[in-house]
Each structure stands twice: as structure tokens, then as C-alpha cells.
Amino acid sequence: MMRMQRVCILGGSGFVGRHIANRLHDRGIHARIPTSYRERTKQILVVPGLELIQADIHDPERLRELFDECDAVINLVGILNEKGFDGSGFRHAHVELTDKVLAACRDTGIRRLLHMSALGADAENGPSYYQQTKGEAEQHVLAAKDLDVTVFRPSVIFGPEDNFFNQFASLLKLSPGVFPLPTPHARFSPVYVGDVAEAFVSSLQDRETFGKSYDLCGPETFNLEDLVRYTARTAGIRRAIWPCGDRLSRLQAKVLQRVPGKPYSMDNYLSATVDNVCAVNNLPQLGIHPTAMDAIVPGYLGSKTERARYNQFRQMARR
């Protein structure tokens, strides 16, 4: 295989994309990242040699232009909430865009496509629009036998600037003494963003990964209540966490999805009704040893606890 020089990363301006772009750079591969809002993105996305381009990636013609002179495409686009409530926003971002990406790859002669899905993605049985549309997109990608595709399905991803621990820490700080937690029994195996980024980058030129799908998990499994208690403890926030039953969880979702910014929705609630854990974790198959939460999270949750200080010290000392 010829050496890769340039990779177009759709959705590359986000949390995971930044890590992938940096790792590509370390391997001498340029990243081209389209964004809907270049001025904002250029402040937060600092990667040497990066081509950051303002573009509407839903426009097929623009997509073909973006793919020009690229050796591979990575599609990371995903949304946790849509503007409306009928699933069409999820379908647009996940299924319709994926179809346009597949068509643009064929039109421009790009064979290599790495596609980000999610653990629990399931076109037929997924309880939420998020999971159904992610599942459908996955099926379309894996059916593209004329291309060299690989699909990744991570559990919730952690790391500095994540949307999980940081968001729970902010919500805990905002809550007045008691924090009502919906779906406390939902199970997750949080996976480190560095491991997810490594899975993408190390697979890029590995023929063994063509046509395959990889479930990516961390080394431990927790329920949501454990994870939120861990967040509070690690960030040094003293709040009573009140696990909500099913009826109250649904009620919270119904109310909060009407609040501007949709901090929580029925679709989020439905996603959490199935476990987000790996039957088999495929990270080791890719030569990656899964990183434990406790080796990373205390380093960025800003805790004042002794344990966190100890872990920060260990991280600095690279031990």
C-alpha cells in the first residue's frame, strides 16, 4: 500500500477528532478537517499542519471537493440530540450523510473509509433514534464491498474535554444540594479517547481491519450511579445523588427536552435502557491495552482530593 499523506476527517473538529488529527500528525499524515464554523473551531483546534476548511459537508459537490487529493476518509459525525422529535435530524446526520460519504468516496476514487459508530447501534432493535440511525449507517458502510471500510463502536469515551465526566461535574456543581439522576442502572465501560484515537490511526493502513467492525471498551464496567458518584468524589463536589426510578427518569426527559439546548431527552433516556458494554472488547485485538479511568480522569476533573493529587503526580511522573 502506498504511504498515506492526507486524510479528510468529517466531524474532526470535535472531541475525538482532535485526538485523531494529532496522532495522524505524529505519523506524518496531514489532516483536512471541514467545519461548519471555522472562526470558532480554529481557536480550539490546534494541530500542526492542519487544513481547516469552512464547508457544508451535506452538499455532495462540496464533499467531492474536500475528498480531492485525500488518501482516506474518517467519518466521525454524530449527534446526541436532534432539533425536532421525529428522528429526521438523526437520520440526516447519521444515515443520509453516510450515504453521501460513500458516494463521494466512489466518485473520487477513495477506497479507505473509517467510520465512527457507537456501541449499542442497532438498526432493527435499537430503542432510540440515535441507536437505530447509527445502526443503519453502520450497515450501509459494511455493505460497501467495493471499498475498504472499518467501523468502530465505542462505549462512552472519556478524556480531557469529554462530554461525559465534565458535563456531570458541571451539572453536579449547578444542582442545589441534591442531584436527581435518571437511569442510574444504565451500564457503561468507559473507554479512553487516546485508545479510541489509536484504534483509528493504527487501523488506517492495516488490511486486517478491512470490512470489520470493532467494539471498543475500557477495562471496567460501572453503572451510571457509580460513575456520577465517582465524578463527585474525584472533582471534590459534595452533593446527595438521588437515583430516579423509571417513571421519574422519563418525566425528567420529557421536561428537559423542551428546555433550550435539550440537556436531556427521551431519545437519551431510551438509549440508556440498554447496556453500553462490550460482549468482547476488541481493543486488545488492535494491539491496544485499555486505559483505566482512574489513570486519567482525576488529572482533569480538577479535584482537590488527596487521591487526585496523587494521580496527577503519577501522571506527571509518567508512572
The site for ligand NAP (CB under 6 A) is made up of: 11, 13-17, 35-37, 41, 57, 76-79, 93, 116, 118, 154, 156-157, 163-164
- Of 96 and 305, nearer to ligand NAP (C-beta) is 96
Contacts (Cβ under 8 Å, ≥6 apart) of 33: 8, 9, 12, 13, 17, 21, 41, 45, 50, 51, 52, 53
In the complex, least distance from residue 211 CB atom to ligand NAP, rounded to whole angstroms = 20
- Of 43 and 319, nearer to ligand NAP (C-beta) is 43
Residue in the block written with cell 428546555: 259
- Residue 112 φ then ψ, to 5°: -90, 120
Contact 187, 276 (CB under 8 A): yes
Alpha-carbon span 319 to 311, nearest angstrom = 9
In the complex, least distance from residue 247 CB atom to ligand NAP, rounded to whole angstroms = 27
Consecutive H or E run containing 72: strand 72-75
In the complex, least distance from residue 221 CB atom to ligand NAP, rounded to whole angstroms = 15
In the complex, least distance from residue 110 CB atom to ligand NAP, rounded to whole angstroms = 19
Contact 10, 34 (CB under 8 A): yes
Task: Find, among 158, 190, 171, the residue nearest to 239 by Cα.
Answer: 171
- Of 35 and 311, nearer to ligand NAP (C-beta) is 35
Q: How far apart are the first and last CA of the chain?
A: 37
- Of 130 and 179, nearer to ligand NAP (C-beta) is 130
Residue 221 β-bridge partners: none
In the complex, least distance from residue 14 CB atom to ligand NAP, rounded to whole angstroms = 2
- Of 57 and 308, nearer to ligand NAP (C-beta) is 57
The residue ranges of DSSP E strands in 170-258, in sequence order, are: 178-181, 187-188, 191-192, 212-216, 222-223, 240-243
- Of 288 and 309, nearer to ligand NAP (C-beta) is 288
In the complex, least distance from residue 319 CB atom to ligand NAP, rounded to whole angstroms = 27
| Sequence letter at residue 219 | P
- Of 242 and 262, nearer to ligand NAP (C-beta) is 262
In the complex, least distance from residue 111 CB atom to ligand NAP, rounded to whole angstroms = 22
Q: What share of the chain is helix, strand, coil (3-state, %, to 5)?
A: 40, 15, 40
